């Protein structure tokens, strides 16, 4: 794979075989970010579980201490009498069957998170085939199926993220922007890793955290010594 000049220069500062303490890891990520835009910093956590088994799933949600640095657009599915409540809470879009029709007929996907009240899930369930593959289907585990619209919207706007295993048993999550600086990134990293550790399934055997890597959008991966959190 061809890598740009900036990437190759940044890569020289990172020892791919070394496990860095969080303080040094995030200092490296920030200093290695050379793009002209504010790069997103992501965390990739490989777990010693098997996502094919229901009793080894790892999934949840957490409000990061400093947010993600990205404004997230929220769609709320609710009854007509609660639409204004959702909009007053900060939702970008809110509705019921009208929103279902808009998604089905107009391919409307100008939002990042979907929240639904429990009494709307019978209606929203019909959108599973289009929302599911995009990771937008509301779920109680992520706190996006709830009667408390205001709290859900406020937490999402404050930086609540959902974490879940992919098919390769890795969790991928944004934890901020390069402009946050190392200290805020460490706070967000610590909060997310602690949540993942607490979510360890009872069926998980052996080493739980297999590897932990952070990287900015255009920068090289930096391996973190996650055992310091265990």
The strand pairing partners of 41, in sequence order, are 176, 216
- The predicted model gives 99-122 an average pLDDT of 95
Measured between alpha carbons, how far is 1 from 5 in angstroms, rounded to an integer? 13
- Asked whether residue 2 carries a pLDDT value surpassing 50, the answer given is no
Whether 181 and 41 have beta carbons less than 8 Å apart is answered as: no
pLDDT digits (tens, 9 = 90+) for 183-214: 999 999 999 999 999 999 999 888 999 999 99
CA distances from residue 9 to 6, 21, 29, 181 in whole angstroms, order as listed: 5, 22, 13, 20
Measured between alpha carbons, how far is 225 from 210 in angstroms, rounded to an integer? 10
Looking at residue 4, its pLDDT comes to: 57
Closest CA to 30 of 191, 214, 198, 173: 214
**Confidence class for position 174, pLDDT limits 50, 70, 90:** very high
Residue at token pair 């805020």 = 184
N-terminal to C-terminal alpha carbon distance within the chain:
35
């Amino acid at each position: 794979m061809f890598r740009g000049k900036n990437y190759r220069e940044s890569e020289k500062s990172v020892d791919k075989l070394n496990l860095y303490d969080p303080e040094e890891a995030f200092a490296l990520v920030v200093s290695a970010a050379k793009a002209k835009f504010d790069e997103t910093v992501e965390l990739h956590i490989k777990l010693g579980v098997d996502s094919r088994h229901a009793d080894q799933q790892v999934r949840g949600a957490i409000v990061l201490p400093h947010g993600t640095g990205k404004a997230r657009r929220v769609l709320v599915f609710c009854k007509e009498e609660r639409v204004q409540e959702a909009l007053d809470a900060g939702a970008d879009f809110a509705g019921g069957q009208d929103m279902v029709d808009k998604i089905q007929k107009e391919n409307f996907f100008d939002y990042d998170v979907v929240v639904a009240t429990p009494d709307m899930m019978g209606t929203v369930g019909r959108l599973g085939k289009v929302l599911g593959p995009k990771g937008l289907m509301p779920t109680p585990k992520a706190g996006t199926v709830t009667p408390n619209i205001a709290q859900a919207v406020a937490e999402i706007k404050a930086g609540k993220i959902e974490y879940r295993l992919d098919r390769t048993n890795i969790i991928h999550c944004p934890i901020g922007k390069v402009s946050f600086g190392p200290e805020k990134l460490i706070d967000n990293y610590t909060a997310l890793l602690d949540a993942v550790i607490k979510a360890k399934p009872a069926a998980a055997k052996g080493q739980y955290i297999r590897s932990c890597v952070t990287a900015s959008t255009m920068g090289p991966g930096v391996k973190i010594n996650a055992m310091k959190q265990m």
